[in-house]
Chains A and B, each alone.
Chain A
Amino acid sequence: MRPGMRLGEALATCPELELVEQDPATAEQAWEEILRRLEDAGFAVESVEPGTVFFDSKGVERLYGGLEPALKRALRAVGTAWDARVGAAERRFAALAAANVARPGQALIVSDDRSRSFLAPLPLTLLPLERARYAELEELGIRTIGQLAGLPGGAVSERLGPDGRRAWSLAGGHSTVAEDGRVQPRRPAVALHETLEFPEAVGNELTLRRGLAVLLDRLLARPERAGRPPRKVAVWARLVGGASWRRTVTLREPTADPARLRAALSSKLAELPAPALKLRLEFSQLAEHTGEQLELVAAEGEVLQGRLREGLRQVRAAVGAGGVSTVVEVAPWSRIPEARALLVPRDD
């Protein structure tokens, strides 16, 4: 088997092949557990994608008696079920490259003065470039990070544009901290969730909406929330056949109003690809405030019109031209419903 192989071809090659449904929710959950274990061990983590995490070791080096013991502790926190590898360097890119070449269970430390010689023989694919760029560089005979770093920066910039220039800076260790990026630890997530298990698979949207409303009421009643409204909410479902489904909604304004939350979440249920056996609602992030500043004098007249215009402008910016329309009655007396009115796009 190889990635990208057609399903029919794979089954013909290996008839006893077992097809496993994608399970992004379980993968995300497993990743979240790893991040929590790292946080429990004192590491302030920045998750880039499932499988890649950055952390600044300075804060925990004294706790564990040096850099190497701290990295070993991080590997232990991840657990032996995963082939975790860790790389340490002054800069993010060098640390990531070190982790890429380290053996499973190894902590590879690259000092700043050795960073350039360490990166030099590594393949270009470690650099954040588009796939076409690698091919372009290979055609020019450049296959390693060191070869790219040896080129004049201006020429690289002219040939490959800003992305190429950034890759060149990373390759040669010329990048500033701003270019390479500081580690920005996430705020430890809150674990507020409620689950509803159905006696049999449910595909009916109305039943799912009712289930979601029950979960929402339960979550809003949880004392751990301490009056704080949710900012980020996730709906998760275990589907018939073992697959899972998950949608995350970030609210423009955090709210604890059940009607507004239902309106924001219910439409997601229509995207469920199969009947659900289990439905779970999570408050992934809570706002810090507990109240909302109301206006003493309600807006009216020009102020209200101005806000409406601004709102419409935002809608247009989000969905494009034709996103805002006016209903124009053309034959309200007609017995044929679709002949009564038109939706005319507004551009003013």
Chain B
Amino acid sequence: MVTHPGSARVARAARRLNARRLNTPSPALVEAHAGGLPSRVNRQEVAVVREEWRVVDRWWTEEPVTRRYFDVVLESGENAVVYYDGDSGSWFTQRA
């Protein structure tokens, strides 16, 4: 059920209630510049990077979270939030 890092307490509650997490990240196809800024997201050019932030959390647990988020506008006008997961080295998309 819980495939992404999260607190064990929430995971236990989800299992007990037969619940699903809301807003789980999904893998994204992202090409990035040398500096790590995304240049293409799901085969679409990035027009503007509106915002960037980092989330570093749970470093004291066995499931640390190290993410670099980007709020981008694609060439089609669509908004998207993607992040680079420092632990797995993969890109994901998620509503922040």
Residues of A participating in the B interface, judged by any CB pair closer than 8 Å: 204, 206-207, 322, 325, 327-328, 330-331, 335-345
Contacts and interface: CB of A to CB of B under 8 A. Distances in A.
26 contacts: A204-B44, A206-B77, A206-B78, A207-B76, A322-B18, A325-B20, A331-B7, A336-B5, A336-B6, A336-B65, A337-B94, A337-B95, A338-B6, A338-B22, A338-B24, A338-B25, A338-B94, A340-B23, A341-B21, A341-B22, A342-B10, A342-B13, A342-B19, A343-B21, A344-B18, A345-B18
A2 B96 CA distance: 55
B14 interface: yes
Contacts of B24: 338
Contact of A330 (B5, B13, B96): B13
Interface in B1-45: 4-7, 10, 13-14, 17-25, 44
A293 B85 CA distance: 54
Chain A interface, >50% SS class: mixed
Contact of B10 (A204, A206, A330, A345): A330
A343 B10 contact: no
A216 to B, nearest CB: 20
Given A206-B76, A206-B77, A335 B57 contact: yes
A336 B17 contact: no
Pick from A337, A341, A344 the residue with the most CB of B within 10 Å: A337
Contacts of B20: 325, 342-343
Nearest to A207: B76
A345 B21 contact: no
Given A336-B65, A338-B6, A339-B10, 6 more contacts: A204-B76, A330-B10, A337-B23, A337-B94, A338-B94, A345-B19
Nearest to B4: A338
Contacts of B44: 204
A343 B19 contact: yes
A341 B22 CA distance: 6
A87 to B, nearest CB: 54
Pick from B4, B19, B44, B78 the residue with the most CB of A within 10 Å: B19
Contact of A342 (B5, B21, B25, B76): B21
